[in-house]
A and B are shown apart, each in its own frame.
Chain A
Amino acid sequence: MTAVERIEADTAQRPAREGPGLRRILPWFLTGLITLLCVVPFLLVIAISFGRKIEGAAWTWDFTLANYQRFFVGALWPDDVTFLYLQQLGFSFWYAVIASLLAVLTALPFTLLLTRLSRRAQAAWLVFILSSLSLSEVFIVMGWDILLSNNSGLPALFKSTGLTLWLKDVGWFQTLRDWGLASPRNVKFKTSQFATILTMSYLVWPYAVILLYPALSRLDRSQSEAARTMGAGGWTVARTVILPAIRLPLFGSTLLLFVFLLGTYVAVTVFAAPAQHTTAVAIYTNIRGANLNAPFGATQAVILLISAGLCLGLGHRLNKWAEAR
């Protein structure tokens, strides 16, 4: 009998260790639980998005595309066309794109410097940044609300220190007015896109640092030094060595923060003008707010989800294309 035959014979004779016990059931149970907790709510939202609002009451199950039609061209189409909801989606994208880019672009040099500190200093900074993640969105927005409020925040400081007068003297005040960041008397940050984007960016900044940190700490410093010995100055090193080396984590971090920021609610409601509110705010207003139109809220949620998915897909494609180049 060869060794292989002997092993096969042994295997055949050995009694099965496990019956159809807990070990076999557990994977099925976990799969079922994940399906129930993750997939079913999604399916419910999709199903409700085809539902129908009953005037003066709640809503009923149905299969109508009226909600989708309303989102894209308005409820009165074809007699009248309105792009209000597309505009809200546009604001969602605008805020999320700019805030995520701002967060990543400011976190990048900070994280790069962080990786050059001593191990001890790095650990202290990381603990501090991680602990800032425990602050809720409401808490952070409240802080920024006070900081940017017209009566007690930066505008009051500008006025009391004479900075407002100085801005008027040098002519920059009018520029701020043109940008919607000043009233006739003083600077004004609420409500403004500036305050909205700044707060949203602040919200995700610690995430940006933590997402970029592993890639930047793995950067081979000798590559930058090699570039320097070959005649590359600081900006050339960043452009030709550091950025290509961290292209993927940089792109991934921006995309992740962008998708995360698409759903920002509190910062938008506090800092953005009502005409510049986002789809996330509209979803809440429809589902839990005054409108009580869950099917339309669900439709907006589905479209937001699909848009985010399309962005991820597009990002992936772009990345592949860049890699191929």
Chain B
Amino acid sequence: MSGLVLKGISKSFGGTRAVDRVNLTFAEGQLTALLGPSGCGKTTLLRMIAGLEAPSSGSLMLGGRDITGLPAHKRKFGMVFQSFALFPHLSVRDNVAYSLHISGASRTEAAETAKRLLDLVQLSAFGDRRIGELSGGQRQRVAIARALAQEPEVFLLDEPMSALDAKLREEMQVELRLLQQRLGITTIVVTHDQREAMTMADSIVVMSNGVVEQVGSPQDIYHRPDNAFVADFIGKANFYDGVTVPGGIRIGATRLAASPHFVNGSPVRVAIRPERACLDDEPGENRLKAKVTFVRDLGPIREYHLETVLGPMVVEYALGEGGKSFVIGDETEVRLPPEALHVFPDPQAAVAAE
């Protein structure tokens, strides 16, 4: 197999367009996360890939073969559902061996495969149990083992961690990633949790309102967001509206040095990550007066909430990163390095201006 390719895939439900002309290539053996807020179309896209929904237009190619019209049961794509969708009338072993039983594999072969997969997900002692006797994490592992039993060409996971508690979710993210790397299966995970996507994915597809906003590695997406939506959805950022001026941006009466690639006078949104703003004495451009309004110590991170001439701003310092210590009411200066400023066109302001 040489990757899965989506060409102009769209899906409409009545008058609502859930997915709009999506073009994507999923590289072989890589884990890709479809990331976006609820209702952005990521699950619909995954269901179209699985063959559970028919696209309204566009095509899906697998290894150069058009599989758009191929029904789900002929695609050989393993899928883990949000609810895990395990069969309660079957034991754990029979759940795992289900695809082998229905494909006519011999009992011995099915039993051996189930045993191997249960070993893989560390549930070898649970084969005879009923699904109702398992914890959330164990159920998820059974669902993964079951989906892997048919040796799928593409492995799909629809919000697989959403039913797990926070601690277990973190553990399972790492486990799932290690398993995927070991097996080398092309994997697509749907999630709305950016931390989950950053932990597991080789590549992230950020979606909003049915369209792909950006595709890239986790580092790319975080450090070089293509637009304000991505900058806002991935991680935290301070946002300010302004207009471009020669050599910088004007926000209200304040001019910031930056290098926007827009025509002067263009309405823009400026974003700066909390960890890129500095409360230090180093000389440089874009130094603003600030007053500390709130301090939040989260253990590994300390957040300073500031009131500046631009408006409220959050600055973050990691533990051991140095920097001064402030208390509420302290007057200081915040430095916004020009290279840390992300400048995006502001379509809303442009529409309002028209």
Contacts and interface: CB of A to CB of B under 8 A. Distances in A.
A227 interface: yes
Interface in B134-161: 146-147, 149-150, 156
A240 B90 CA distance: 10
Contacts of A230: 73, 78, 98-99, 102, 146-147, 149-150
B52 interface: yes
A236 B103 CA distance: 10
A229 B72 contact: yes
B316 to A, nearest CB: 40
B301 interface: no
Interface in A209-259: 220, 222-223, 225-233, 236, 240-241, 244-245, 247
A220 B83 contact: yes
B50 interface: yes
Contacts of A245: 87-89
A244 to B, nearest CB: 4
Interface string B71-93: 11111111101110111110000
B63 to A, nearest CB: 18
B78 A222 contact: no
Contacts of A241: 87
B81 A222 contact: yes
A232 B79 contact: no
A236 B71 CA distance: 14
Contacts of A220: 83, 85
A231 B102 contact: yes
Contacts of B71: 228
Nearest to A234: B73
A316 to B, nearest CB: 18
Contact of A226 (B51, B74, B76, B81): B81
B98 A228 contact: no
Given A230-B78, A230-B102, A231-B150, A222 B85 contact: yes
B278 to A, nearest CB: 49
B147 A231 contact: no
Contacts of B147: 229-230
A211 B73 CA distance: 31
A229 B102 contact: no
Interface in B90-149: 98-99, 102-103, 146-147, 149
Nearest to A229: B79
A244 B88 CA distance: 9
Most buried by A among B50, B51, B85: B85
B52 A228 contact: yes
A240 B50 CA distance: 20
Contact of A231 (B81, B82, B85, B99): B99
Contacts of B150: 230-231
A202 to B, nearest CB: 32
Interface in A172-222: 220, 222
B75 to A, nearest CB: 7
Contact of A225 (B52, B78, B87): B52
A245 B75 CA distance: 25
B73 A228 contact: yes
A110 to B, nearest CB: 23
Interface string B50-77: 1110000000000000000001111111
Contacts of A229: 50-52, 72-73, 75, 77-79, 147, 156
B274 to A, nearest CB: 39
A230 B78 CA distance: 6
Contacts of A228: 51-52, 71-73
Contacts of B98: 227, 230, 240
Interface of B: 50-52, 71-79, 81-83, 85-89, 98-99, 102-103, 146-147, 149-150, 156
Given A225-B79, A233-B73, 4 more contacts: A229-B79, A230-B102, A231-B73, A247-B89
